[in-house]
């Protein structure tokens, strides 16, 4: 296993982060795994040296946090042996004020997350989206209070425009509050708009990038089809993916398959290796539901791509409309 620090001020993590969104309540989505089904996957990840695990309160309305906490307590004898992250923003109930990044919601949400995770702190606490209704000063002060109370070690952000991220960082610095050390964003071979502003900003500010959905919901594994749907349980029951991918994205997939064939590797391994080596990227957040998914992710650490191979992978890309916090 390889390890790296999250930016210039964050924790050291494995260069693969295990995304726990697919673990939780099997009645909500056909491709989710319950505690018993997830256990061997987490055991294998831990044995392979994966130390970073990522979830969110909203994943299955807390069920993912419960499963995550249970499995990590089983696998790691000491709390300091792993890096745990969760997120805040989305509603956890039908109450109208149970969402967003207000001081009230943040302080209540961290306590709820810690209770479900069965720990006294998380290592990274992410804001899941940008809150247009709450002043950013209120949000950053509340997050600072969470860190000063010892309930989170570091702060991270996810899926926002670069100007929003810069504004939040400036507000925190101006007031002497804790700043974000991590950006978990939408970034992969088929969506590279983060390279325009967000990645350069993170490089300049010493912020680590940990992209989510690095395989584009299966698009970069070859399980999606141009006409919609796919060959796996998730791809066949994931209507949102049809809104995310265009025909030009499949041109990227074709190039990926060709390069992977030349290397004698599955496309997923090559796509993860490409992303891992991008500027500012610390580790992709990889979701798994099968042992083969995890083995591909682990094997990707051994894939080295040369300049010619990277150029072939990148040549088919067509710019997209930027996706922000919506």
Among 73-87, 130-144, 174-188, 236-250, whose mean pLDDT is lowest?
236-250
247-to-192, 198, 244, 280 alpha-carbon distances in Å:
16, 25, 10, 29
Q: What are the catalytic residues?
A: 59
Q: Above 60 in pLDDT, residue 241?
A: no
Q: What is the pLDDT of residue 94?
A: 87
Q: Above 80 in pLDDT, residue 273?
A: yes
Quote the CA–CA distance of 214 and 163 in Å, as a whole number.
Answer: 23
User: Of 237, 221, 239, 197, which Cα lies nearest the Cα of 297?
Assistant: 221
Q: What is the pLDDT of residue 302?
A: 96
**Bridge partners, 54 (sequence order):** 19, 85
User: Of 20, 55, 56, which Cα lies nearest the Cα of 38?
Assistant: 20
Q: What is the pLDDT of residue 239?
A: 53
The tokens describing 198, both together, are 């967000």
Quote the CA–CA distance of 282 and 203 in Å, as a whole number.
Answer: 11
User: Of 285, 286, 325, 287, which Cα lies nearest the Cα of 90?
Assistant: 325
Q: What is the pLDDT of residue 143?
A: 98
Q: Above 80 in pLDDT, residue 57?
A: yes
Q: What is the pLDDT of residue 175?
A: 98
SS3 184: strand
Q: pTM for the complete prediction?
A: 0.91
Do 144 and 177 touch, CB atoms closer than 8 A? yes
Among 214-223, 235-244, 311-320, whose mean pLDDT is lowest?
235-244
User: Of 116, 131, 46, 115, which Cα lies nearest the Cα of 83?
Assistant: 46
Quote the CA–CA distance of 89 and 105 in Å, as a whole number.
Answer: 8
Q: Residues 35-45: what's their mean pLDDT?
A: 96
Q: Residues 271-286: what's their mean pLDDT?
A: 97
Q: Above 60 in pLDDT, residue 236?
A: no
Residue 139, Cα to own-chain centre: how many angstroms?
21
Where do the domains of the chain lie, and which CATH numbers do they carry? 3-219+272-302 (3.20.20.100)
**Bridge partners, 212 (sequence order):** 186, 285
Q: What is the pLDDT of residues 68-124, one digit of tens each?
A: 999 999 999 999 999 999 999 999 988 888 899 999 999 999 999 999 999 999 999
Quote the CA–CA distance of 43 and 53 in Å, as a whole number.
Answer: 12
Do 16 and 52 touch, CB atoms closer than 8 A? yes
**Helices 307-315 and 267-276 meet at what angle, rounded to 10?**
110
Q: What is the pLDDT of residues 138-163, one digit of tens each?
A: 999 999 999 999 999 999 999 999 99
Quote the CA–CA distance of 145 and 201 in Å, as a whole number.
Answer: 25
Quote the CA–CA distance of 83 and 196 in Å, as a whole number.
Answer: 29
User: Of 48, 38, 90, which Cα lies nearest the Cα of 69?
Assistant: 38
Spell 240-276 as b/e; 16+ CB within 10 A means b.
ebeebbeeebbebbebbbebbeeeebbbbbbbbbbbb
């Amino acid at each position: 296993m390889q390890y790296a620090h999250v930016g210039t001020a964050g924790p050291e993590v494995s260069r693969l982060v295990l995304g726990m969104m697919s673990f939780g309540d099997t009645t909500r989505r056909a491709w989710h795994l319950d505690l018993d089904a997830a256990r061997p996957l987490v055991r294998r990840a831990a044995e392979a040296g994966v130390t970073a695990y990522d979830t969110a309160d909203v994943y299955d309305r807390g069920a993912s946090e419960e499963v995550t906490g249970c499995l990590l307590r089983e696998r790691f004898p000491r709390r300091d042996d792993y890096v745990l992250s969760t997120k805040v923003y989305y509603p956890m109930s039908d109450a109208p004020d149970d969402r967003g990044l207000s001081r009230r919601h943040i302080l209540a949400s961290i306590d709820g997350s810690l209770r479900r995770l069965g720990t006294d702190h998380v290592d990274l606490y992410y804001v899941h989206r940008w809150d247009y209704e709450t002043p950013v000063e209120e949000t950053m002060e509340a997050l600072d209070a969470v860190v000063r109370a010892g309930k989170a070690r570091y702060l991270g952000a996810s899926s926002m425009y670069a100007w929003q991220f810069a504004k939040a960082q400036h507000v925190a610095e101006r007031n002497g509050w804790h700043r974000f050390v991590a950006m978990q964003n939408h970034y992969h071979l088929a969506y590279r708009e983060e390279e325009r502003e967000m990645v350069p900003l993170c490089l300049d500010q010493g912020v680590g990038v940990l992209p989510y959905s690095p395989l584009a919901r299966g698009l970069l594994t070859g399980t999606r089809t141009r006409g919609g749907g796919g060959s796996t349980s998730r791809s066949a029951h994931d209507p949102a993916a049809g809104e995310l991918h265009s025909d030009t994205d499949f041109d990227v997939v074709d190039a990926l398959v060709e390069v992977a064939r030349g290397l004698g590797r599955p496309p997923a391994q090559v796509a993860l290796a490409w992303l891992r080596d991008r500027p500012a990227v610390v580790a992709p957040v990889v979701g798994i539901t099968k042992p083969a998914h995890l083995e591909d992710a682990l094997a990707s650490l051994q894939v080295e791509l040369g300049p010619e191979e990277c150029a072939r992978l990148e040549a088919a890309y067509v710019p997209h409309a930027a996706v922000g916090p919506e």
